[in-house]
Amino acid sequence: MTIRMGYWDCPSCGNKKNLGPNPTCSGCGRPRGPNIPFYTDDSAPVVEDPALVAQARAGADWKCKYCNADNRAGVMDCHHCGAGPDGSVRRQEKYVALGPPPKKGVDAKIIIAIVLGVLGVLGFGIWFLFGRTTSLSVTVESAAWVKSVEVEQKELKRDAAWQDEVPANARVVGKETKGRSKKVQEGTKKVKVGRKDLGNGMFEDVYKEEPNYVTKQVDDTWVRYEVEVWEKKETLKEETTDGSEPKDPASRFKPGGDRRLGKSQNAAVFQLKGSDGKRYTFEVDVDKEGAGAVTKYQIGKSYTAKVNTLGAVLALGP
Ligand SMILES: [Zn+2]
Ligand SMILES: [Zn+2]
């Protein structure tokens, strides 16, 4: 494992980048205190000298309880005042995870600004089309209570896909071997994930084994298959215009092995004529609002509609 040189900055004289293992400042000669942090980066030299490597491996420095100077592990007398390590406190070894690698080329801040800009424009667009409303005077031309239900039919769909992408419930019709470029794992690779502050002015790079993926041209199986899907076939509908509840359209449904009921709707549907001469539709969910919704707006009467940019009525009020 790679040992790397660390540094520390002197708070007394401001001297930067004192070599990590040095216990005194090369600028003013004062001893490094136990709270002075070490730092390093990938450009710091790799420690190769066997004596220094052994020192790095020996453990964290200890703090002299009399003068606060940092001392190397294994040294029995404080380099500053000569006291022994009896009852002294050692520095902590610390693991520091590496952040994501810096993006090359475009600055991350610029990307964030672009993303925020696009989101802002999209948000405005969605609001402009769906949310922005104008008030319009409308007259109710007709009112209906509509119940509908979709009928779906099971159908056999033919499709084809690579073997590992075929749906689980598919029935295989045919197979053939074809070339395909595919990501496959080939051994592992060492990835640097962080470094350990050894507490003595040196650092150790920390690696992890990760799967190594390569794109390869491989022979794979191309599968033709049939799969059952439910497709919408028709919509059964019952409608009244006198305020009475329509029959349940599902009562006309003839159950069979390959047919089933799908989505249903129970709505009051109002046809409106706007003061702009255009016609609009307003629907109220009766399941949600109750049967009173059907007679809430009367034919021939005028109301105020909130109409969005796409011409949909979002609300109808007095
Ligand atoms: Zn100094
Ligand atoms: Zn001391």
Q: What is the DSSP string of the chain?
A: --EEE-EE--TTT----EETT-SB-TTT-PBPPTTPPPB--TTSPBP--HHHHHHHHT---EE-TTT--EE-TT--S-TTT----TT-EEPPPEEEE--PPPPSSS-HHHHHHHHHHHHHHHHHHHIIIII-EEEEEEEEEEEEEEEEEEEEEEEEEEEEEEGGGS-TT-EEEEEEEEEEEEEEEEEEEEEEEEEEE-SSSEEEEEEEEEEEEEEEEEEEEEEEEEEEEEEEEEEEEEEESSSSPPPPGGGG---BTTEEEEEEEEEEEEEEEETTS-EEEEEEEHHHH-GGGGGSS-TT-EEEEEEETTS-EEEEE-
Q: What is the CA(49)–ligand 2 centre distance, in A?
A: 27
Residue-wise pLDDT for 203-229, tens only, equals 999 999 999 999 999 999 999 999 999
pLDDT for 283 beyond 80: yes
Q: What is the CA(16)–ligand 1 centre distance, in A?
A: 8
Average pLDDT over residues 304-308: 94
110 or 176, which is more confident: 176
Residue-wise pLDDT for 2-33, tens only, equals 999 999 999 999 999 999 999 999 999 999 98
Name the pLDDT band for 110 (thresholds 50, 70, 90).
confident
Q: What is the CA(65)–ligand 2 centre distance, in A?
A: 7
Q: What is the CA(37)–ligand 1 centre distance, in A?
A: 14
Name the pLDDT band for 104 (thresholds 50, 70, 90).
low
Q: What is the CA(20)–ligand 2 centre distance, in A?
A: 18
CA 222: distance to chain centroid? 32
CA 240: distance to chain centroid? 48
Q: What is the CA(299)–ligand 2 centre distance, in A?
A: 97
Q: What is the CA(57)–ligand 2 centre distance, in A?
A: 23
Q: What is the CA(44)–ligand 1 centre distance, in A?
A: 21
pLDDT at 312: 93
Distance CA 267, CA 23 (A): 82
Q: What is the CA(36)–ligand 2 centre distance, in A?
A: 16
Q: What is the CA(80)–ligand 1 centre distance, in A?
A: 15
Closest ligand to the CA of 14: 1
pLDDT for 307 beyond 80: yes
Closest ligand to the CA of 30: 1
Closest ligand to the CA of 17: 1
Q: Note the pTM of the prediction, 2 decimals.
A: 0.51
pLDDT for 105 beyond 70: no
Closest ligand to the CA of 80: 2
pLDDT at 16: 96
| Cβ atoms within 10 Å of 138's Cβ, excluding its own | 26
**In the chain, what are the domain boundaries?**
1-92, 133-151+235-317, 154-192+207-226
